[in-house]
Amino acid sequence: MKADLRYEKEVRASSAYRTVESDIRRGEMSHAYFIVSEDKDAVDTLFSLIAMRVYCDTVCKECKECRKILMRSKPDVKFLAEGDENFSVEEMSALTEDAGMTSFEGGAKLYFFKNFERVSEAAQNKLLKTLEEPYPNVHFILSAANTGSVLPTVLSRSKQVLLTAFPAEAIREGLIRSGVEEDRAERGARIGQGSFTRARILAADEDFSRHVSEVTEMVCGLKRSADVRGYLKSPIFSKERFPATLSILEIVLGDAVNAHLGLPLVLTESAKEIGEIAEMYTVAALGAALDVVLTCRIRLKANCIAQNVADYLMLKMVEVKYKCR
Ligand SMILES: [Zn+2]
């Protein structure tokens, strides 16, 4: 059985994988890595590839070791902080204790953290001791969408690895290979900003054109703070659609910058609305608004209430529009 790894070819070619792979090949795998990336789909695949590479030179996906990793049934390889819940200090205590014990199968022990941003500060501090005095043959591979909530000491004790944006063509091919229809893959790749996760979500958006119109309509209609209230109940801010709304908003604001600079637009079909937004916002205001979007993304991931985030988003957008005239 050959298990399917999403975007395997593209992630294997990434500098992040090649860096870690070459460390393993030279027998110099670091006791801790830190991978900063919002692209959780790519991180999933990267983790599986690294884990297989530790136990199998060719990452064949077919031998006993590879299969155990793909089935998540190897006791010495743990995948942690994969969901939305916070990783507590108690869990970290149990884990660091576990790390100090001999491995089940006599080889290396690996601990992967997908959402390290979900690990509390106290739990990070707990891990820090283990990072400072590493156990032989025990490796931590940590990843977070951003380093805002990561202790600088954790970062400085880890080898930092960059998972850079993927080229649009690689995303298009990867999406098609994973079963996405061609025209949708094309759209996702065009607007996914180098992220497989973002591209996949946008490619799957059933009502993409309508969603874009709703977002541009909100931005155009947001003239003063009194207007915020009218949009709070808009379906674009529902819990399910909010993340895609933020991605679209980023593209819209980026396109307004393009309009200012006379560069080609990504959303060609919304040229009229983009022009209107470019008239409302200066380039500086658009830059500030893009920062606001980023903050909202972090707040949503931290499980803030959607309506509060929407309120903050729109009030801040009005504010930067006036501030950066
Ligand atoms: Zn293998």
Instruction: Give the pLDDT confidence of 151-197 residue by residue, as tens digits.
Output: 999 999 999 999 999 999 999 999 999 999 998 999 899 888 899 99
- Own/partner long-range contacts of 263-271 (Cβ < 8 Å, ≥24 apart): 266/190, 266/191, 267/191, 267/212, 269/209, 269/212, 270/212, 270/213, 270/216
Q: How many CB atoms lie within 10 A of CB 108?
A: 17
Question: Which tokens sit at 48?
Answer: 């599986």
Q: What does the pLDDT read at residue 325?
A: 81
Q: What does the pLDDT read at residue 163?
A: 94
Cα(57) to ligand 1 centroid in Å equals 7
Q: Do the Cβ atoms of 315 and 228 come closer than 8 Å?
A: yes
Cα(6) to ligand 1 centroid in Å equals 17
Q: Does pTM surpass 0.85?
A: no
Domain boundaries, the chain: 8-162, 205-323
Q: 301 falls in which pLDDT band (50, 70, 90)? A: confident
Q: In CATH, what class is 8-162?
A: alpha beta
Cα(22) to ligand 1 centroid in Å equals 17
Q: What is the mean pLDDT of residues 289-302?
A: 91
Looking at the predicted structure, is the pLDDT value of residue 2 above 80? no
For residue range 10-59, what is the model confidence (pLDDT) as tens digits? 999 999 999 999 999 999 999 999 999 999 999 999 999 999 999 999 99
Q: What does the pLDDT read at residue 4?
A: 66
For residue range 115-135, what is the model confidence (pLDDT) as tens digits? 999 899 999 999 999 999 999
**Mean pLDDT over all residues of the chain?**
94
Cα(257) to ligand 1 centroid in Å equals 48
Q: Half-sphere exposure of residue 226, counting CA atoms within 13 Å on the CB side?
A: 0
Specify the DSSP class assigned to residue 81: S
Architecture of domain 205-323: Up-down Bundle (1.20)
Q: What does the pLDDT read at residue 268?
A: 84
What is the rounded CA–CA span in Å between residue 267 and residue 258? 11
Q: What does the pLDDT read at residue 191?
A: 85
Cα(174) to ligand 1 centroid in Å equals 22
